[in-house]
Chain A
Amino acid sequence: KQEVTQIPAALSVPEGENLVLNCSFTDSAIYNLQWFRQDPGKGLTSLLLIQSSQREQTSGRLNASLDKSSGRSTLYIAASQPGDSATYLCAVNGRSGGYNKLIFGAGTRLAVHP
């Protein structure tokens, strides 16, 4: 059964720092991995999708990498800003979880202070 773990659970940093958020999954037979942002009481905003054949994806200050064989993904946030404060969720879509459903981690709660 696929399990997704995110470390750290919470992170508080000063503005301007470069950050790395970690996601690990137990079954490497995934089709894709998606990173989301969730603001308190709000919906999920898709940040990046990495297909299983890809190693990384970039969008602006965000870069996500995928190492399928080791069951890991990282989300790199460059030059963090207070507006980046949110919970970041990692979710995988894979064979052991069913091919058209996402299995989520618990998230990393990020606070960027000025």
Chain B
Amino acid sequence: EPEVTQTPSHQVTQMGQEVILRCVPISNHLYFYWYRQILGQKVEFLVSFYNNEISEKSEIFDDQFSVERPDGSNFTLKIRSTKLEDSAMYFCASSEALRPGSDYHSSYNEQFFGPGTRLTVL
């Protein structure tokens, strides 16, 4: 069964360093997302991406964050200068394109999540 994959599973970094988290969405999906979950807290939306551009972002997603689809399969989240409070589990998700014959926007479709990358900032 197709699944979203993420690498690395765990990343430890020093405060102020740049990190890149990688995701491979499900192959026929066209919408991509990043969420994060700080330990003990709710899962929070960061950003959504469609057609090679950001379609929506939260207030958390400031200038320190960026996303990219560098090739046909990968989707990355970059944090330019990590802070202690960036320590969290980061989840990538994807959802499929508009189904033929459906008038639902493709964002209405089911989102599938990867296993997450645990980022620890020291």
CA of A97 to CA of B42, assembled, Å: 15
Residue of B nearest to A101 (CB): B45
Asked if B116 is an interface residue, CB under 8 A from chain A, the answer is yes
Chain B residue numbers with a CB within 8 Å of A106 are 41-42
Chain A residue numbers with a CB within 8 Å of B112 are 46
Tell me whether B114 and A43 are in contact (CB under 8 A): yes
Asked if A85 is an interface residue, CB under 8 A from chain B, the answer is no
Chain A residue numbers with a CB within 8 Å of B118 are 41
Chain A residue numbers with a CB within 8 Å of B93 are 44
Chain A residue numbers with a CB within 8 Å of B111 are 34, 46, 102
CA of A102 to CA of B77, assembled, Å: 18
Residue from the list A46, A98, A104 in contact with B110, Cβ < 8 A: A46
Mostly, the A contact residues are: strand
Instruction: State the Cβ distance, A103 to closest chain B Cβ, in Å.
Output: 7
Binding site for B on A (CB under 8 A): 31-32, 34, 36, 41-46, 49, 51, 89, 91, 93, 97-107
Chain A residue numbers with a CB within 8 Å of B45 are 97-98, 101-103
Chain B residue numbers with a CB within 8 Å of A89 are 43
Residue of B nearest to A107 (CB): B42
Chain B residue numbers with a CB within 8 Å of A41 are 118
Which 10 A-B residue pairs are closest in the complex by CB-CB distance? A100-B107, A43-B115, A101-B45, A44-B113, A104-B43, A49-B110, A100-B48, A43-B116, A31-B108, A98-B56
Chain A residue numbers with a CB within 8 Å of B58 are 101
Known: A97-B45, A98-B56. 19 other contacts (CB 8 A): A31-B105, A31-B108, A32-B108, A34-B111, A43-B113, A44-B91, A46-B113, A91-B43, A98-B45, A100-B56, A100-B105, A100-B107, A101-B33, A101-B48, A101-B58, A104-B43, A104-B44, A106-B41, A107-B42
CA of A26 to CA of B45, assembled, Å: 18
